[in-house]
Amino acid sequence: MWDELNHLRDENKNRWIMDLFERDGARADGFSVETGDMRFDYSKTLIDDAVRAALIELCEKVDLSRHRDAMFTGAAINETEGRAVLHTALRNLDGGSVLVDGQDVMPGVLDTLARMRSFAEDVRKGAFAGAGGSITDVVNIGIGGSDLGPAMATLALEPYHDGPVCHFVSNVDGAHVSDVLRPLDPTRTLVIVASKSFTTTETMTNARTARAWMLDGGGDPAGQFAAVSTALDKTEAFGIPAERVFGFGDWVGGRYSVWGPIGLPVILAMGPQAFDAFLRGGQAMDLHFRSAAWAENMPVLLALTGLWHHQICGYPTRAVLPYDQRLSRLPAYFQQLEMESNGKSVAMSGSSLTVPSGPVVWGEPGTNGQHAFYQLIHQGTGVVPCEFMIAAEGHEPDLAHHHRLLVANCLAQSEALMRGRSLDEARERMAAKGLTGDELDRQARHRVFAGNRPSTTLVYPKLTPFVLGQIIALYEHRVFVEGVILGINSFDQWGVELGKELATSLAPIVDGEQSAEGKDGSTAALVGFVLKHRG
Ligand code: F6P
């Protein structure tokens, strides 16, 4: 299946992206795709007509449309857990019924959404209050998918906030919960315990600590806690009344769950209307993914570009570089989305993968990254495909000149990566500075940029709730397409289990209640060091 692409990679080895532009004056449009008012440009890569055709052929070979339709229509495509995958139902606002095992899930989805809306309105208007008055702050306690989505989206949409201030506690490190709670008023804080399973050690430990803090400070945990979970028996056992429990089906994966009750902090911060717009953005991307031909399908082209760079060209990592300070949690969010979904070495069939699994995803917002790690991206020995993102306009009309600089920097980076600077150009510069002979050569070599480094750019008018919804759904579907082509199940995460089990068995040893006998020498010695040095 990969032969033709490997052949094209070898054939294109010495090609220049810049030459592709010279040969084809319409390349920018030919290798960009638009949906709504969002544009994805993958022209600054070595993908040409032949490569694109071979990549699209992959979609046909794996029967991508059958897989896509199976997901949207509630088939149990998460085969290792025997579950449907229906985060798309959470944003299917007026899209009709969706059946799981013959049951329409939409009435339940819409009912929960209505409850979220009304709870959010009550909190925002002060009709729901704490022991000391209206709610000023919300603390979301969750981790992984029960944290990254709402934390990322809440920060991203800060200009739309007109509700209580939202805070996020995820790490079991007591420093996190302690630093977040310290400045808050326990009588006017709402705590949301967000856990799909309601068993995650970090979350339950933090939830108990927050409950004690609230009680100590005169708050009312029975009245000021809410829960988001699929495990309703466990939320009840924790003491959270049913009217403040927001459930969802096991057909929503943790890292895909921001669209439903896990998005409670987002709706509390910015209100039901803006949250609806966010859902509509996701739904718009779903409709595009379901209807556009592969060659014009944004999630598919994003996925194929990623497969070309990682599985075919062998570039081990991918940088996500949003030029937007408010998207500073987006790389971490995409890290979980991609690496927990596609970090697998076994195919759905049980056989070993014959191509690399998903890449390492990392990144930081621009322009900050430029002054930190871009050096390696420009001049390091390895190639890092970069995914730039930028809005045409910012949210600060008084500071429009800042945004113009932001845009210029974003576009300059992708241009510099592609164009590079040759030794001749570097020599010219050094000569202009008066250098001659060996010193000119030596200095010039340090100023050479290899160039020909691939990047893509996603550009959109403004980071609105609708656009954020589009971006997240775009990346979700990209990960799905990659998974289908790799033949893996993108919706389980067995790889996190072993560490969890060992942590449980180590806890009594670290507590000093059990001996480290039976542990390997390194682990036993490290425990010994900790026991000796703690106060
Ligand atoms: O350990 C991984 C994981 O299961 C993620 O997939 C999930 O998002 C996170 O832990 C939190 O799980 P829960 O929502 O059940 O607390």
What pLDDT does 266 receive? 98
Average pLDDT for 462-468: 98
C-alpha distance from residue 409 to each of 198, 361, 404, 413 (Å) = 44, 22, 9, 6
Q: Is 203 in the pocket of ligand 1 (CB under 6 A)?
A: yes
Q: Is the pLDDT of residue 279 over 80?
A: yes
- 198: CA distance to ligand 1 center in Å? 9
Other beta carbons within 10 angstroms of residue 250's beta carbon come to 16
What domains lie within the chain, and their CATH numbers? 101-276 (3.40.50.10490), 496-534 (1.10.1390.10)
- 171: CA distance to ligand 1 center in Å? 12
Lowest mean pLDDT among 3-7, 94-98, 386-390, 413-417: 94-98
The ligand 1 atom at the shortest distance from the C-alpha of residue 229 is 14
The ligand 1 atom at the shortest distance from the C-alpha of residue 143 is 11
Q: What is the tens place of the pLDDT at every residue in 212-234?
A: 999 999 999 999 999 999 898 99
Average pLDDT for 388-414: 98
> pTM for the full model?
0.97
Q: Which helix (H) or strand (E) holds 304?
A: helix 298-307
Task: Report whether 139 contacts 209 (CB < 8 A).
Answer: no
- 196: CA distance to ligand 1 center in Å? 7
What pLDDT does 1 receive? 83
Average pLDDT for 304-312: 98
Q: Is 503 in the pocket of ligand 1 (CB under 6 A)?
A: no
- 143: CA distance to ligand 1 center in Å? 6
Q: Is 73 in the pocket of ligand 1 (CB under 6 A)?
A: no
Please give the radius of gyration of the chain, using alpha carbons only, rounded to the nearest integer.
Answer: 25
Query: DSSP class of residue 421?
Result: B
Return the HEC string of 45-91: CCCCHHHHHHHHHHHHHCCHHHHHHHHHCCCCCECCCCECCCHHHHH
Q: Is 234 in the pocket of ligand 1 (CB under 6 A)?
A: no
- Our answer to whether residue 500 is catalytic in this structure is yes
Question: What's the CA gap between 306 and 358, in Å, rounded?
Answer: 9
User: Residues 202, 338, 340, 364: which is the catalytic one?
Assistant: 340
Q: What is the tens place of the pLDDT at every residue in 230-246?
A: 898 999 999 999 999 99
Pocket test for ligand 1, best of 146, 230, 500 (most atoms within 8 A of CB): 146
In a 3-state reduction of DSSP, which class is residue 434? Answer: coil
Q: Is the pLDDT of residue 62 over 90?
A: yes
- Our answer to whether residue 125 is catalytic in this structure is no
- Our answer to whether residue 371 is catalytic in this structure is yes
